[in-house]
Amino acid sequence: MSQVLHTTDTTFEADVLRSDIPVLVDFWAPWCGPCKMIAPVLDELAPEFAGKAKIVKINVDENQLVAGQFGVRSIPTLLLMKNGEVVATQVGALPKGQLANFINQHL
């Protein structure tokens, strides 16, 4: 079972903004090729960062409110958030090693 959490416009505040650990938010959509490419990478990274960072996905087709609040224009967009604030942004898919480094830089 994946440790990647799926959030929505309704649960985003509780899942992400109020998190006591950093959160990597993946803004994605089912039709997005690069989103499909990084999905298994996120699934692999989630257990590796358990307790240190959360990995959360939000479908932009179904949850346009949050995507709009953060100005997400293209997907995948990855936001690294700490204490409800965006500390880093990555647009586009990354290989596993680079994605792990992206998260580690902000722990």
Write out the catalytic residue numbers.
32, 35
| CA–CA dist 36, 33 (Å, integer) | 5
DSSP label at 68?
A: H
Q: How many CB atoms lie within 10 A of CB 90?
A: 18
DSSP label at 62?
A: T
